């Protein structure tokens, strides 16, 4: 007998018929004698609808009500699944975040889980009761307010619960059957990976792969949760295991590059003729940091006259306008002559722990992209990944080129 957490995303619970299909997956595990906690997302599209309503009502003034509203989507699916499970002859009950309780800090809209008391769930396991928990939400105890964990947060709910109740496995059921070398919609020859290391998955999720919320991977890595990504659309009687996210040591054959990720949510800002003197970088990046704007790639050009220089950096597409406004406001302090910006850029990244022990991996990419006539606007590298910023229309060509270059195409 094992203890399992099964998490189902929005498309897997999009309507009652699909919820019934989810219940068949749960029944399979219950029939095999396992203790099961299920975490559900809202029906697909639901959270977007709720977010749009809060905007219409003026949510910017109040994040606590935003959370109260957007947390409701998961309540519905948790109740529905519990009902369907009972209808199929299993014992089951729904749990809202505060009932467990899943305690968080008070960063409404992006709260962090601080503590989970899983005793109630475990008690239910004693009488073979399936616990169905609303994902994405928690409680800030001191203020007695509902919080949410940020978009895609039910992955994190699931992993945190798995750690809290000491689950043997956390299965993330989604609409794809695992983690791929890249997005199969862009590269039809993308391959499903049997195993990916936590570190690689963390980079892939941070760099644009949307299959798991970044925080859920961090948490699985810290708490050593055995995490599978698998499909709810497999036959419930005969499902495949999907992709295991695990320690690097548990992967036998390590490729140099494991995957290619890309993010279209990027914008580039260039400041022309910035004064080349101490304190200028602080004048630029200080105010952006204070406004919670993350700056990613930074390039400073060395000038020949040594009095002024050009500075280029990237922010997310969502922060683009805000960043420009802040910089214009600091013009006096920074002293640039012109500000250019474009959001028609995309960041393409190659990820692989094998890069630690192989040199020249990125150089091969630069050559291959040049041969296709793709101009690189910016580059960053770290131990197990490198990223290039290019013009958005070349996204698909660039991703395919790198996918082939590193031998990732399915044969």
Positions touching ligand ASP (CB under 6 A) are: 9-10, 41-42, 47, 73, 135-136, 151-155
Task: Name which position in 135, 152, 153, 208 contacts Mg ion (CB under 5 A).
Answer: 152
Positions in 7-46 near Mg ion (CB under 5 A): 9
- Closest separation between CB of residue 136 and ligand ASP, Å? 4
Q: How far apart are CA 228 and CA 241, in angstroms?
A: 7
Residue whose CB is less far from ligand ASP, 153 or 239: 153
Q: How far apart are CA 382 and CA 109, in angstroms?
A: 30
Of the listed pieces 1-9, 78-86, 324-332, 343-351, which binds Mg ion according to CB under 5 A?
1-9
Looking up tokens 């977007």 gives 48
- Closest separation between CB of residue 388 and Mg ion, Å? 27
- Closest separation between CB of residue 35 and ligand ASP, Å? 23
Helix pair angle (361-371, 395-405), 10° resolution: 130
Which entry of ligand ASP, Mg ion, none binds 42, CB below 5 to 8 A by partner kind? ligand ASP
Told to check if 153 binds Mg ion by CB under 5 A, we report: no
Residue whose CB is less far from ligand ASP, 48 or 254: 48
Q: How far apart are CA 231 and CA 9, in angstroms?
A: 10
CB contact at 8 A, 339 and 269: yes
Residue whose CB is less far from ligand ASP, 134 or 284: 134
Q: Where are the beta strands (DSSP E) in 296-391?
A: 298-300, 308-316, 338-351, 378-382, 385-391
Token pair recorded at residue 267: 């914008």
Of the listed pieces 86-94, 151-159, 175-183, 382-390, which binds Mg ion according to CB under 5 A?
151-159
- Closest separation between CB of residue 311 and ligand ASP, Å? 35
- Looking at 227-360, list the stretches that DSSP marks H as alpha helix, in order from N- to C-terminal side: 280-290, 320-329, 331-334
- Closest separation between CB of residue 210 and Mg ion, Å? 7
Distances 182 to 72, 192, 223, 305, 398 between C-alpha atoms, Å: 33, 9, 26, 44, 12
Binding site for Mg ion (CB under 5 A): 9, 152
């Amino acid at each position: 007998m094992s203890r399992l957490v099964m998490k189902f995303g929005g498309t897997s619970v999009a309507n009652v018929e699909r919820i019934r299909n989810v219940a068949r997956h749960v029944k399979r595990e219950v029939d095999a004698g396992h203790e099961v906690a299920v975490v559900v997302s809202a029906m697909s599209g639901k959270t977007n609808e709720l977010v749009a309503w809060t905007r219409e009502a003026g949510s910017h003034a109040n994040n606590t009500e935003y959370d109260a509203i957007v947390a409701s989507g998961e309540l519905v699916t948790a109740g529905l699944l519990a009902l369907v499970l009972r209808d199929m002859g299993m014992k089951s009950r729904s749990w809202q975040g505060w009932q467990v309780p899943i305690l968080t800090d008070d960063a409404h809209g992006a709260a962090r889980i601080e503590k989970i008391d899983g005793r109630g769930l475990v008690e239910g396991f004693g009488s073979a009761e399936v616990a169905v928990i609303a994902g994405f939400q928690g409680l800030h105890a001191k203020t007695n307010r509902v919080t949410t964990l940020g978009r895609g947060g039910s992955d994190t709910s699931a992993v945190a619960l798995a750690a809290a109740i000491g689950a043997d496995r956390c299965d993330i059921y989604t609409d794809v059957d695992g983690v791929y070398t890249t997005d199969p919609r862009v590269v039809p020859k993308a391959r499903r990976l049997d195993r990916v290391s936590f570190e690689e998955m963390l980079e892939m999720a941070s760099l644009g792969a949307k299959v798991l919320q970044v925080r859920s991977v961090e948490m699985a890595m810290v708490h050593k949760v055995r995490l599978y990504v698998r499909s709810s659309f497999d036959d419930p009687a005969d499902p495949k295991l999907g992709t295991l996210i695990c320690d690097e040591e548990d992967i036998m054959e390590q490729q140099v590059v494991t995957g290619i990720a890309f993010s279209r949510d990027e914008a580039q800002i260039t400041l022309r003729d910035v004064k080349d003197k101490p304190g200028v970088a602080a004048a630029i990046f200080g105010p952006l940091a204070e406004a919670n704007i993350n700056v990613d790639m930074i390039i400073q050009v060395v000038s020949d006259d040594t009095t002024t220089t050009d500075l280029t950096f990237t922010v997310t597409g969502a922060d683009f306008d805000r960043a420009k406004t802040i910089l214009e406001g600091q013009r006096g302090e920074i002293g640039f002559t012109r500000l250019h910006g474009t959001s028609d850029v995309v960041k393409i990244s190659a990820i692989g722990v094998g890069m630690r022990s192989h040199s020249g991996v990125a150089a091969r990419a630069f050559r291959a992209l040049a041969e296709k006539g793709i101009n690189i606007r910016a580059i960053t590298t770290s131990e197990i990944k490198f990223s290039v910023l290019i013009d958005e229309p070349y996204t698909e060509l660039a991703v395919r080129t790198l996918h082939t270059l590193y031998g990732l195409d399915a044969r």
